[in-house]
Structure 1
Amino acid sequence: MIELKPGNMSDIPLLWSLRTRAVRQLCASHYSPEQVEIWSESPPPESYLRLFATRCALVAQEDGQLLGYGILDRQSGEVIAVFVEPAHAGQGVGKRLMDSLETIAAEEHFTRLYLYASLNAADFYRAMGFVAIRDEAYEHPSGIALRSLYMERMMPMESVH
């Protein structure tokens, strides 16, 4: 059974390693080899320290094995990341993470969530109720521009007070 726990700063290297595997394996179908290489070689952003310190990260595990993680910025309502171990993609890990991030967003009384979806992840986010607002270049911290979709999802009214 998939278990979720809050992420902490000591998890960052392990989670970043998972993220790098996911970028290399799952994003290669939508981005050039050069983009994937630069993207996957970038270090964790400094913002992760703030996000993990404010308990914005969730880690998915099963029998002690890392399956994925998600991060919601509690200040803005931006879904910063949802990454799943490539061998477990399509098995409900991402959905479980998104459902839990939505619960956190409801606790924070957000009226909407937003994110910048990589092209390979857009269908997943659509299935989670997000709508593509625009197709744009996302300025990645590594210095490259990645084509992405800016997406939004309105929160159910019963979660907004």
Structure 2
Amino acid sequence: MFEIGRAKQCDAQTAFEIRLQAIRHQCIGAYTKEQMLAWTAGAAKDGYDVLMDKYFYLGCINGDPVATGMLDLENSEIGAIFVLPGFMRQGIGLKILNHLEGLAQDLGLKEVNLDATLNATDFYRRCGYVGEELAIYHSPSGLRLACVPMVKRLLLWRGSRER
């Protein structure tokens, strides 16, 4: 059974490991080996753990974490959608994305944005995101990666707060 729940600070290393495995599995060819190794170096305590204080979620199957996702309200940004390689292509990333978009709607956001990795742009386009221009993502560690900034307008449901 798949469930999505709010991550806690103690989940940071688990979330970091999901991220590491997803990047190393799925970004082959979109980025160089050197970029991927630099991108996944370190540990959660090197700064990734601060994301747990945002709207960070774990997707779990029978209680075991297999996916992550985050909504950064300050920037109206969705990010950190990663799925363990053994669970990819099962709709789990889409479930996480839909959950985060629903949360954004409930919180009154009119649109959300994200920086899509080069291997994920088609997925996000299929989900209604718009963006074509290549840009450079600057990570807190100083790593520079090509990405595609994308945006999606959200429908405001009756009863949603205006922001």
* Structure 1 pair 141–43 and aligned structure 2 pair: CA distance change class (3 A): farther
- Tell me the CA shift for residue 53 of structure 1: 2.6
Gaps of 5+ in 1: none
Contact 1:132 1:152 survives alignment (8 Å): yes
What residue is the counterpart of 2:101 in the other structure?
A: 102
Kept in 2, the 8 Å contact 1:82–1:98? The answer is yes
Residue-pair matches, total: 159
Alpha-carbon contact 1:42-1:142 (below 8 Å) kept: no
SS in 1 for 2:133: strand
Deviates more, 1:26-35 or 1:36-45: 36-45
Unaligned segments of structure 2, at least 5 residues: none
TM-score normalised over the length of structure 2: 0.89
Q: In the alignment, residue 34 of structure 2 is paired with which amino acid?
A: E
TM-score between both structures, scaled by the size of structure 1: 0.90
Report how far residue 145 of structure 1 moved.
1.1
Q: How does 1:115-126 map to 2 (within 5 A)?
A: 115-126=114-125
CA, structure 1 residues 160+125, in 2 after alignment: closer, same or farther (shift >3 Å)? farther
What is the aligned-residue RMSD (CA, Å)?
1.7
Amino acid at match of 2:152: R
What is residue 9 of structure 1 aligned with on the other side? 9
| 1:25-104 correspondence runs (5 A) | 25-44=25-44, 46=47, 48-49=49-50, 51-54=51-54, 56-104=55-103
Structure 1 counterpart of 2:129, one-letter code:
F
Shift of 1:75: 2.3
Deviations 1:26-78 (A, max 9, x none): 111210111111011144463742x4234x01111111222101000122210
The alignment partner of 1:134 has SS state of coil
Q: After TM superposition, which residue ranges in structure 1, 4 or more long, deviate above 6 angstroms?
A: none
Q: Which amino acid is the alignment partner of residue 25 of structure 1?
A: H
Distance 2:121 2:150 in 1: 9
